[in-house]
Chains A and B, each alone.
Chain A
């Protein structure tokens, strides 16, 4: 049991430079526990798909070490592949094949007999609401159904880990809920799940742990709960008219004296600045000016939201 471990994924110093020179990953460190429901969140072009691609052997890494369930990817690549099911960002099945064949073939490529693969395919197609469509051409499915077909295909060999790259992009809200429920259920049954997304809402609804990636670097790696606490926090910088000796107790999460005339206070949801001013005034401290201090994380999320808006705009323009 030399390489027994409870880590599903360990990534060290992972770098990727594409032909043509784009540095997609600039040294990523990431660990994901077995059984986790993990989100990799980041704006477009951050390096999410590249990371996923390396994990499932569709992209060659340029540098670094990747271990999956304790096995080195370079050393035990075939074994690692057999433990993973992947749902890529873009449709990548043969549109001219019958729906069930897409799933059955994939089972075969993982070493299953046709009989076993067919049985399993039917089970999954039932669970994902595609059973009635199994004999029709994959091309005839709607966008949401195609996405679910790829989920069925990824699960045909009952992998220990399921990786989904932006699984709900282009899927409407109601169907999204259904997919979330399905994923939550298989995670409860023990499958480790990693999903990439650029909706914080999605990560929030599903995931226990999260990493945020931006421009090829991990900028945050924590539990969902910690991240949300950090995000709901706002920091204000207050400038006093006269030097302040010491700060009184205030009804906020945190406060500190940056220099004699500069105070910082951290407010979380439900806390108000008027309470701060009341206390300060009571101690004879007069605030002359103040400003909102933006943090790194917030700026990043602003970008995520902007990306989202841009994407929505594009898709509506594309439709008209």
Chain B
């Protein structure tokens, strides 16, 4: 029947040859459907997903940029309000990418519609990539929206477009993956806010969103170098302003290693069916 052929499933009959559940085109269709569903989901609730980071960013600019900023003056030759822009944008990218996959995946587990994916022939890697793409879509959408807010307060400068998109894309990929892992482990609503509150927030606030580590004492400068978020934020600041506390290669190194490790870890969780299959 025509519909059966459209599902792109076919049966290799040769001995020793494996029967395939999804062809390459079927896998692409499945990916597009999952990504679309994720985008529609956060789009439907934009008041909870897109609006709050915009308001928060505006408040940061008013308080730290306008009111306190002039007293701080210039950092690395850049007015403070300008210095804040990259960190604030990337902070939204980080939290929103993470929030999207953790809440979407935990929600799917809680309401059990994750089973729609588990009974389908979609391989684990494709489910992971679909959710991560959803997180990236939200991270970049909010990143863009926050950038528009920043335009109201500061000039937008771009030092290197390639690095701008490179760092933003890799950052949202990494944190969407981490959020997904959190979602796989979570068994209770509280579990989706523990990591963002107790790990993510301290690391970003202490990761040079608001200051250059050169302003810190020797000890805290050294201590900050153990914070991976520092490298990511500085990479993004380099892309926008051309200034950074760390070498640019270290930004990409941390992001690449982080993405690879998180992806392999997520794949292992899915394979073992942790929190998914009885």
A111 in complex: contacting residue of B121, B273, B277, CB < 8 Å: B121
Interface string of B23-46 (1 = CB under 8 A from A): 101110110111011001000100
Interface residues of A in 75-131 (CB under 8 A from B): 75-84, 86, 88, 90-97, 101, 104-114, 116-117, 120
Which A residues are in CB contact (< 8 Å) with B9? 79, 82-83, 110-111, 157
Asked if A105 and B277 make an inter-chain contact with CB atoms under 8 angstroms apart, the answer reads no
Asked if A60 and B34 make an inter-chain contact with CB atoms under 8 angstroms apart, the answer reads no
Given contacts A94-B111, A95-B111, A111-B22, contact A106 B120 (CB under 8 A): yes
Q: Quick check: which of A27-35, A51-59, A218-226 contacts chain B, the rest being far away?
A: A51-59
In the complex, A96 Cα to B121 Cα: how many Å?
A: 24
How many B residues have CB within 8 A of the partner chain? 45
Q: Which residue of A lies closest to B37 (CB)?
A: A105
Judged by a CB distance under 8 angstroms, whether B4 is at the interface is: yes
Which A residues are in CB contact (< 8 Å) with B71? none
Interface residues, chain A, with chain B CB atoms under 8 Å away: 1-4, 18-19, 53, 56-60, 71, 75-84, 86, 88, 90-97, 101, 104-114, 116-117, 120, 153, 157-158
Asked if B113 and A92 make an inter-chain contact with CB atoms under 8 angstroms apart, the answer reads yes
Given contacts A60-B277, A82-B21, contact A108 B32 (CB under 8 A): yes
In the complex, A92 Cα to B33 Cα: how many Å?
A: 18
Judged by a CB distance under 8 angstroms, whether B190 is at the interface is: no
Chain A nearest CB, measured from B262 CB (Å): 24
B121 in complex: contacting residue of A58, A71, A110, A158, CB < 8 Å: A110
Given contacts A3-B13, A84-B119, A105-B33, contact A113 B6 (CB under 8 A): yes
Interface residues, chain B, with chain A CB atoms under 8 Å away: 1, 3-4, 6-9, 11, 13-15, 18-23, 25-27, 29-30, 32-34, 36-37, 40, 44, 108, 111-113, 115-123, 273, 277-278
A78 in complex: contacting residue of B1, B22, B278, CB < 8 Å: B22
A81 in complex: contacting residue of B15, B112, B119, CB < 8 Å: B119
In the complex, A76 Cα to B123 Cα: how many Å?
A: 12
Chain A nearest CB, measured from B121 CB (Å): 4
A79 in complex: contacting residue of B19, B25, B44, B277, CB < 8 Å: B19
Asked if A110 and B30 make an inter-chain contact with CB atoms under 8 angstroms apart, the answer reads yes
Which A residues are in CB contact (< 8 Å) with B20? 78-79
In the complex, A298 Cα to B1 Cα: how many Å?
A: 44
Chain A nearest CB, measured from B268 CB (Å): 15
Which A residues are in CB contact (< 8 Å) with B34? 105, 108-109
Q: Which residue of A lies closest to B273 (CB)?
A: A60
Given contacts A78-B121, A106-B116, contact A158 B33 (CB under 8 A): no
Asked if B278 and A82 make an inter-chain contact with CB atoms under 8 angstroms apart, the answer reads no
Asked if A92 and B111 make an inter-chain contact with CB atoms under 8 angstroms apart, the answer reads yes
Asked if A93 and B119 make an inter-chain contact with CB atoms under 8 angstroms apart, the answer reads no
Asked if A82 and B22 make an inter-chain contact with CB atoms under 8 angstroms apart, the answer reads yes
Q: Which residue of B lies closest to A88 (CB)?
A: B115
Asked if A81 and B120 make an inter-chain contact with CB atoms under 8 angstroms apart, the answer reads yes
Which A residues are in CB contact (< 8 Å) with B113? 92-94
Which A residues are in CB contact (< 8 Å) with B19? 71, 76, 79
In the complex, A91 Cα to B110 Cα: how many Å?
A: 12
Q: Which residue of A lies closest to B116 (CB)?
A: A106
Asked if A111 and B30 make an inter-chain contact with CB atoms under 8 angstroms apart, the answer reads yes
Asked if A58 and B13 make an inter-chain contact with CB atoms under 8 angstroms apart, the answer reads no
In the complex, A3 Cα to B25 Cα: how many Å?
A: 26
Chain A nearest CB, measured from B18 CB (Å): 6
